[in-house]
Homo-oligomer: A and B are copies of this chain.
Amino acid sequence: MKYGRFEYQGRIFFGIVKDQEVTELSGSIFDSYQTTSLTHALSSLKTLVPCEPTNFYCAGINYLAHIEWGNQRKGTQTKPPSKADIGYRSQNALSATGQPIIIPADAPGPVQYEGELVAVIGKKAKHLTEANALSCVLGYTLGNDVSDRGWQKSDRTLWRAKNCDTWKPMGPFIVTNLDPMNLTIETYLDGQAVSSYSTSKMIFSLQHYIEKITQYITLMPGDVIWTGVDNATIPDLQHGMVCDIVQKDIGTLSNPIVRLS
């Protein structure tokens, strides 16, 4: 199933996407819903972020080649994490496919993309194990963890390095019944392929993160877990570019870059 969240004539609703058609739902995909008889051409709707998480978790560092590339770039010796410590991003920064990634005039840069697989929680969950971890997941979407490497270096926390308004594009849709540990995540800048990696390379699996998180924390419907990025995340984002994060079943999360002057 492929779910989306849409706006049409001032109404906001969830829908089921099939090919280029959307069947409108009444209710919430995170609670209960009914299929209605209303259908829309996908192109006639505004696609919104597919969910509005209460809690916004992320894996932070979770792929070896990205760590090695960061160490080469910065001359650092960051080691792979020895355990699955989780990070956070902030909801203010969420943005839908098609919306601009706006870079403030004083951002020191470089500003870079990080195309990631995102797990969307469907059921309240605590004390899961790796074996049953995926039972709380409704489906998967894509995220672009836009980051200013200058602020990431200069600031004590990641607030503006990661959470400027519009810097967390998420979408386009939530797709069920995927294997989160065997997906290819691709990134394109102006249509040119710049990154491709397999989620099979995660240092700690999604299942492991969910087991660890739910040992202490209750996951809630609509919460999201961003699972990290692999590889280099270059070339840098520049004004006027379009950045696409692609997974063949989920679709394309596409955002133009606007740098304020």
Contacts and interface: CB of A to CB of B under 8 A. Distances in A.
Interface of A: 52, 54-55, 57, 60, 81, 83, 85-88, 90-93, 104, 126, 155-157, 159-160, 163-165, 213, 215-220
Contacts of A83: 155
A160 B91 CA distance: 20
B218 A87 contact: no
A109 B46 CA distance: 49
A67 to B, nearest CB: 13
A55 B159 contact: no
9 contacts: A55-B92, A87-B157, A93-B217, A159-B213, A159-B217, A163-B216, A164-B217, A165-B216, A165-B218
A192 to B, nearest CB: 29
Given A60-B157, A159-B85, A104 B165 contact: no
Quickly give the copy total for this chain.
2
A104 B157 contact: no
Contact of A90 (B88, B93, B155, B157): B88
A104 B217 CA distance: 11
Contacts of A160: 215-217
B92 A54 contact: yes
Please list the 3 inter-chain residue pairs (A to B) with the smallest Cβ-Cβ separation, ordered nearest first: A85-B156, A85-B157, A164-B216
A93 B86 CA distance: 15
Given A54-B92, A126-B165, 12 more contacts: A55-B91, A83-B155, A85-B157, A86-B157, A86-B159, A87-B159, A88-B88, A88-B159, A90-B217, A159-B216, A160-B216, A164-B217
